[in-house]
Chain A
Amino acid sequence: MTWVNAVIQGLLLGGQYALIACGLSLTFGVMRIVNLAHGDLAVCGAYLGLVLSSSLGVPVWYVLPLLLPAAFGVGLVLQTLLFGRAMRHGVLAPVLVTFGLSVMIENLLQVAATSDPRGLAGGSLALASFRIGSHITVSWLFMTAFLTACAVLSGLQLLLSRTSWGRKVRATADDPDTARLVGIKVRAVFATVAGTAVATAALAGIFIGTIGTFDPLAGSSTLIFAFEAVVIGGIGSLWGTLVGGMALGVTQVVVGQVNQAYAVLAVHLLFLAVLAVRPAGLFASHQAAREVRGSGALG
């Protein structure tokens, strides 16, 4: 593969990372929760996609109309029963609860599905590619993932800026107390945001499963990559997660060209470098960056 090809593939890979990251960013932006089970929920999406597509005998894309609403529902339930309660128990509780949830999900998947890596049936789309010029080959799957990510990010951005729901979400993110005071049903806002986040996670999981393989413990590394994309791109910025994702993707693929074993390490080191030099990320909103740094910025 040529260098140009590697960079392009890396940029497209960034779309996938953005797709998994945007839900994490949304959850933090509105509820101030870092959902440590986010990666595992994406993996659950992949497993559910596997179950549905193999029992119905169709490529996984056809089951999305079933899968995404189900994922949205799961998010609603998780927020109402678990995260919402955790939020009322102080600042540390959501971190502890989401980590505990992550452990439960990973091990339940191990019980249900064994540790063997699986793949999703992507149909003909998964194998096709097209050429640009004489040196560049682009996989349709990567391109679809990237375009989907852009579509989701645009969609979310539109929803947030143009709809009544979006206004309520942004108001709640600014000041949940006052939002409740002016008549916004804050619990409903939290629930729908969580639902949206899990739905995007499930969609990302489908792409992860189609492009590569997945196993019950893949959630951790997925979470870490999503997190890194959010931090590099800038906390509080949805499109920032795309930039962050692309930075991760390019690093991973380009370094992988030189030495595959070092690819993931290089990504983590990039994240640590950004953390050292510009902890707020590239496009952070001031308020969000301040909150994430929290006491890290004091003395």
Chain B
Amino acid sequence: MSTAAPEPPLEVTGVDVFYGDFQALFGVSLAVTRGRATALVGANGAGKTTLLRTIAGAQAAASGSVRYAGSDLTAAPPHRRISRGIALVPEGRKLFGSLTVEENILVGAAAAASSDWPLDRIYGTFPMIARRRRQRASTLSGGEQQAVAIARALAAAPTLLLLDEISLGLAPRVVGELYQTLAELREAGATLLIVEQDLRRAMAACDDLVCLLEGRVVLAAPVPAVTREQVVAAYFGLRSREGRT
């Protein structure tokens, strides 16, 4: 039996991203291991959303590469990445307001990698939205909309699920329920990359942690190997000052 570590399915290498003249990511490299949840943390503007969008194909990388499950997806458009198994739950949910809940989910299956996640399974995972399947998405509460956004991404039957700030604007109890669902997905073997503002939740829910600061990776380690203080220091960029913590 091989004792080598399994090859990480997602490999981001040396990615630079520009918005016009502004550079948002500087040579970012990242690897996500199969079946594990990785937390992506950092202050506002650190580049977390940019990185997720680059992995999902909504943002072009000026240099570097994105590889997943053995294929180079650097130049691939979003629909090709989805059919390879990457799906993004975007920041701010971004549901299609004039479509019903069910239509939103069905649209998410447009480029689905497989039929592993039919509607029944999705409604079984999110019973709260099953009741509202025929309602227009814009009429739902914040927590329900977030659930629909995740459901829409699941409809693509992803093997790598990217989630961007799913706790924003939601009550703690609701966030707790969502994270419970994420834990169930992990049990079922999904790989997760989660951007999360709440450090406590991020470290509780994930196996690995990556911290970004002003477009660069400043910390990447398994969660048990770092203390909260170390993460906070990296988060705010305090570690470089001499004589200070």
Interface residues of A (CB under 8 A from B): 164, 167-168, 170-171, 173-175, 177-185, 285, 287
Contact = CB atoms under 8 A, between A and B. Distances in A.
B58 A168 contact: no
Given A181-B56, A182-B152, A183-B108, A171 B99 contact: yes
Contacts of B58: 177, 180-181
A25 to B, nearest CB: 15
B215 interface: no
A185 B56 CA distance: 14
Nearest to A166: B103
Interface string B147-182: 000001100100000000000000000000000000
* Range class of the B interface residue count: 20 to 34
Nearest to B104: A171
A35 to B, nearest CB: 22
A182 B98 contact: no
A86 to B, nearest CB: 21
A288 B110 CA distance: 25
A28 to B, nearest CB: 15
B98 A168 contact: no
Interface of B: 53, 56-58, 77-79, 82-83, 87-88, 90, 94, 96-99, 103-104, 106-108, 110-112, 152-153, 156
Given A182-B153, A184-B111, 16 more contacts: A167-B99, A167-B107, A171-B99, A179-B96, A181-B56, A181-B58, A182-B107, A182-B108, A182-B152, A182-B156, A183-B79, A183-B110, A184-B110, A185-B79, A287-B97, A287-B98
Contacts of B156: 182-183
A181 B96 contact: no
Nearest to A187: B77
Given A181-B56, A183-B79, A184-B79, A175 B96 contact: yes
A171 B87 CA distance: 17
Given A181-B88, A182-B156, A164 B79 contact: no
Given A167-B99, A182-B152, A183-B79, A175 B107 contact: no
A183 B103 contact: no
B94 A175 contact: yes
Contacts of B88: 181
Contact of A181 (B90, B97, B106): B90
Nearest to B82: A183
A84 to B, nearest CB: 15
B161 to A, nearest CB: 13
A182 B82 contact: yes
Contacts of A182: 78, 82, 87, 107-108, 110-111, 152-153, 156
A173 B97 CA distance: 10
B93 to A, nearest CB: 9
A184 B98 CA distance: 16
A272 B234 CA distance: 62
Contacts of A167: 99, 103, 106-107
A68 to B, nearest CB: 27
A168 B78 contact: no
A91 B99 CA distance: 26
Contacts of A180: 58, 77-79
A183 B99 contact: no
A113 B166 CA distance: 61
